[in-house]
Amino acid sequence: MALTIDAAFAARNFEELYGYSPEGVWSAPGRANLIGEHTDYNAGLVLPFAINRRTFAAIGLRTDGTVRVASEGFHGVIEVDFGVQSTPALEGWSAYPLGVVQVLSELTGHAVEGFDIYLASDVPTGAGLSSSAAIECAVAIALNDIWDAGLSRSDIALAGQRAENTVVGAPTGFMDQFASMFGEPDSAIFLDCRSMDVRAVPLGLGDFEVLVMDTQEKHSHATGGYASRRKACDSAVDVMGVSTLRDITTDMLDEAQQKLDEETFRRVKHVVTENIRVENAVAAFGARDFEAIGELFAASHASMRDDFEISTPALDLAVESSLEAGAVAARMTGGGFGGAAIALVASAQVPEVMSAVTEAFTAAGYQPPLQFTVVPSQGARRDI
């Protein structure tokens, strides 16, 4: 029988571990990105949605400046004394929740009086579904309530990104945190990462479902591949004399090809064309034009495979085998270098597609992928 991860589970385990009842339980979802990869930190466009898999943060108050954090997924309790050192050295998985504590204290000027945290999650780690943002946003929205900080959802999302950038050391954009904070049922989030305008886009999936195919190739945004892609984008901005890659239009690609080395040009080409695909996808979902969505997903995946070079053979196989089995659209999702692909599949065909993907992986000598469907869900909230 599968373990049910929910607010009650988090509250119960908190009490068993720490010996008293938590002040409350807050949660935030992971996200699946429909389209718009590596565009967020280039002031571009993205179309993610919050998924129905969440991280729950049970929190109880202390008065000694000590913060203790434990997780259902990791052994032991990490203890940090913010009362002695306001910016302690943080590392490992605990840098995600404790980094948020540090950043929010700096932003709000609120001294860390101390508390205990217990985290429980059913968002897969390393799968490209933003388990890190789910942790950050769950803890951040909790502290915003507990400290009565009055931060907006955008403020909280940006605090989560700042923690991941400065404490964890991962040079990510803020798409994941915005999706986790602003998610709505049955809708994707159309985010302009230059203006920070957020708009819910009803998806109208009807008899279709989003199938996640987690290759179980673990990735990390704090390691070299992601950072090197961001460095290439920053280099192109300097050479082209623009503020961000968002300022480069398709009409400027010939000029970019002349000025940039071949590899950097391909990175730029991906970002420029991906922004256009996001805009077209918003229109296609609005019109329920699944043929167009399939073409956009295919072009996006090809661009990530060939121009941005962040796909892997296993991700490519997940996409190809799901399409051959009847999915109407498929692409890798997330930062790449492992993780998951997604497919848009008619509900009645989901078992058939899942079986075909598993068979393809087995035939290729890969471990079977972890597969499950997700639906657009509510963003960060207080549960108890």
Alpha-helical regions (H) of the chain:
7-18, 95-108, 131-146, 153-163, 175-182, 224-240, 253-259, 262-286, 290-306, 313-324, 350-364
One DSSP character per residue, 33-47 reads EEE--S-GGGT-EEE
Give the C-alpha separation, 100 to 106, whole Å: 10
Number of residues that this document lists for the chain = 384
**Distance between CA atoms of residues 58 and 25, nearest Å:** 4
**Amino acid making up residue 230:** R
First to last CA, the chain: 25
How far apart are the C-alpha atoms of 189 and 282, rounded to whole Å?
10
Which token pair is 127? 């799968």
Q: Which residues are catalytic?
A: 176
* Cα dihedral across residues 185, 43, 165, 158: positive or negative: negative
